[in-house]
Amino acid sequence: PSESFTQSDTCVLLFFCSVDGGELFDRITDEKYHLTELDVVLFTKHICEGVHYLHQHYILHLDLKPENILCVNQMGHQIKIIDFGLARRYKPREKLKVNFGTPEFLAPEVVNYEFVSFPTDMWSVGVITYMLLSGLSPFLGETDAETMNFIVNCSWDFDADTFKGLSEEAKDFVSRLLVKEKSCRMSATQCLKHEWLNHLPAKASGANVRLRSQLLLQKYMAQSKWKFYQDVKDWWLFGFYFCMPLVCTAIFYTLLTCEMLNRRNGSLRIALSEHLK
């Protein structure tokens, strides 16, 4: 919007709204938070509204994941989608392929390096919704290669224990998004019209049961952070062992050069003193 910025002859000023609710998953895994299916409905609806806005303006986010969804505050269900570093402006006549993203949330067409479009984002919405409902990551494997193999084969199901007690509407919503053929996935507009995201007053009366997904998401978050720290450590060790020989070699040749210069200067001083005699 035009009111989001102003400019003068020398600078451009950008105005940002305050978002202090933290990451979505961090908020709902707080022990004080009572997560219900109605909460998931409201969060998912706002996510779909955000994606719908992006797609209306022909923008593909291409990196939708829990870390990129922030809560506006600690009370309501409003969210903000952030991190558009991998986003692309979509031009239907220009075929777009990408080979980046976070493995767990990649759509099959990204893994296969095929053309991407609006349904690519909707796949990620499906993964996030599945996780909100169950606390499980539907395609997560032991390795990135295994994860991407699950994605390519669209190998997932509704875990009997974690989805017990959840509505059939919720399962139907997810089933219409985690579809390998991207043309068969619901659009953001269709999601907002889906039965699961509507008739909220009627849902409010019977949706007070705390979801088991909250505890499972706590474990998922802990494992994700541990994996992140391990990856950082591995990269640090790799850099240390890879760079240390280069650093030592550089220091050796620097000292050798200094020694040679000192000897040459010493020889010059001796020769000069003998010449002056």
Catalytic residue among 63, 83, 144, 157: 63
Residue 24: CA atoms inside 13 Å, Cβ hemisphere, count?
A: 24
Main-chain dihedrals φ then ψ at residue 12, nearest 5 degrees = -120, 130
Long-range Cβ contacts of 152-156 (<8 Å, 24+ apart): 152/108, 152/111, 152/112, 154/108, 154/178, 154/179, 154/180, 156/130
199 dihedral zone (left: phi>0; alpha: psi -120 to 50; beta): left
CA 154 vs. chain centroid, Å, equals 20
Helix (H) or strand (E) holding 56: helix 37-56
In which element (H, E) is residue 13 found? strand 12-14
DSSP class of residue 186? P
Structure tokens at 173: 């919503």
Nearest Cα to 177, choosing from 148, 154, 159, 202? 154
CB 95, CB 119: distance < 8 Å: no
Return the bridge partners of 211, or none. Answer: none
C-alpha to C-alpha distance for 180 and 184, rounded to whole angstroms: 8
Q: What tokens were used for 250?
A: 């550089």
Residue 172 annotated among the catalytic residues of the structure:
no
- What b-and-e string marks burial along 165-186, b requiring 16 or more CB atoms within 10 Å of the CB? ebbebbeebbebbbbbebeebb
| Catalytic residue IDs | 63
